[in-house]
Structure 1
Amino acid sequence: MPRRPLLDIPPVLGLLPDAAVTKHLGRGVQSGLEHPPQVALRKAATLLPQQESRWQTAPIRLLLDEAMARFDDNRTAADGWLAPRLHATLRMTRSEAGDGRLWNHLAMLVAPDYVVWRHKGKEIAQGSRFSGPHYTQCFARLWWVAELFRDGPDYKPVEIACRVQDVLNTTLRLDVIDHRPTAQAFVRVLEKVLAAGTPRPGDHVNALSSAINAAGSTLVYDVLAPDTPPLVDDLLDWIAASEDAPLVDLDRLPVGPDDGQAASSSVEALLPLFEELLSEAPVRLRSRTEEEPAIAQEEPAVPRPRNGVSLEKNLPSWMM
């Protein structure tokens, strides 16, 4: 079989519309037998400013090649290694990260081989891994799990969160995880579950995620565990510093933006609630074929919180 030509990777990231991905994403690309049509996709894309080093593709490509070399025997383990390093390399605001066209460009023009390597099933990688919501798309899910579970500059909670795939597949979909004390308390409970050697921790993650989501909205948790707004100027300084920042260390965790951490008192306030929710939540033991939820599903696997939730109605009896 003839070898495929090497990817001609653009020097900087760009914005690639969903329609272009839909038009040019076929089974050959999803299976890894073909590269996406680079000429047509480049014509459809808009490149980001080349003078901003944070958009350069070479440092990202270096990370992806390293991940494939390190974790070829355990590809899911690549997530916990790559997520903080991708976040620290691709420095941007949440608004910028919310533009799906950026992730389309990364998946189709910079690293389609990584998408296939990481997410190929028996035959193909699902289309939503190339272009999809933030909790499904190959690279967006990694950036966002790092953004939502980091504790200010500390990426260690991200590594813990990524040890169980259901955190990315289910918990990442919850609006309440945007509340920093909630995210940190969740990781603390997860860490205890893992330390105890609990069998099939993903089933417990799903049960806890569903219970946390059903127990209240972000507003409810903000009453129980107040959070302070992130330090936007410090975040922007960290982004600006990317111009002179060295490549992230491949063996030590990088340092994220020092834009504020979740108050320890607020995290401690939520811990007993989350531990009780986990102890009372029904755990659905799945078969092995169900362990990673279907990625083609577009709606969350657990209900989203609603505004106006009654605080007393959703708290355990011991907190009323």
Structure 2
Amino acid sequence: MDKGVVRAVSSSSVAEWERLVVSNYAGLSVRIDRKADFAARLAVVQIGRCRLSKVDSSPVTYERSENDVSNAPSDDLLLSLKSTGSCLVEQYGRQALLGVGDLVLYDTMSPYKLDFREPYRELVLKIPRVALASRVASPESLSAVRLSNGSSMARLAGTYLRELAREADNLAPAARDRLDSAILDIVALALTDVAGALAMDEQTERLGRAKTLMRARLSDSSLSATQVAGALNISVRTLNRLFAREGESAMRWLLEERLLACHRALMEARTRSVSDVAIEHGFSDLSHFSRVFKAKFGIPPSEVANSKAVA
């Protein structure tokens, strides 16, 4: 059987369901008012670095406390898409009431509470923090913020997650493993697109949008500062001023992101060859790629690839 797919597991036992939830997400407690009527079902599929699960459950409250955080540390982010029912999410002093089609992010590194007051269905994407933080600055600042189904990017992310969950069993393991970057890019776009999600000054918002756009197009070797600036309706000079706040130019930052993405891909052995890695991340000149990769990481990309192949 495909080890990346866990067939649906059903439970009518509160203790058993709590163990199942803890093992798949993070340490927490489960409170159920009508235990005699409780029933729940969970199916999980691994998508590269991410884990996508389908949950179908009776009303329930989940709470991750300070003690849970200390005793069962976790460094993942959870993105939930509501299919039916509603949920009240509380974290970092914020509350978000979610309805059908809405998305919400919450952080397993800190306490949170999820209150499902009616039967519900949802999809939950478990994301390693480092995978999302490379695309969205301080993603925890977006936890417990409702990403409304009224946002075009949130709708797109929701549609992508639903289709992925529907087709997961039909995908070859190698195909699933290569889809995580696409998922993360779409999630990052949805998170940074929601108006009012972050209270930040205009320059910071523009810089975040520029980074998200560029991360989403790492594979486009023709991407230029002019194209990025045009997409943001600003001048190239303004674009570079935004990056100058961090001591970079726009294109230098893009080069760094491409190199980091290549290094991750080689370390995780997610591609067939060094040339595949380079081309998939926007490098059309392989000798140039090797030079800049070695300059940044101290060894050529072939050595990273060979070390993982041996391992």
**Do both proteins adopt the same fold according to a TM-score greater than 0.5, normalized to the shorter chain?**
no
Give the structure with the larger strand fraction.
Answer: 2
Higher relative contact order (CA 8 A, sep 6+): 1
Give the structure with the larger helix fraction.
Answer: 1
Q: Tell me the TM-score normalized by structure 1.
A: 0.28
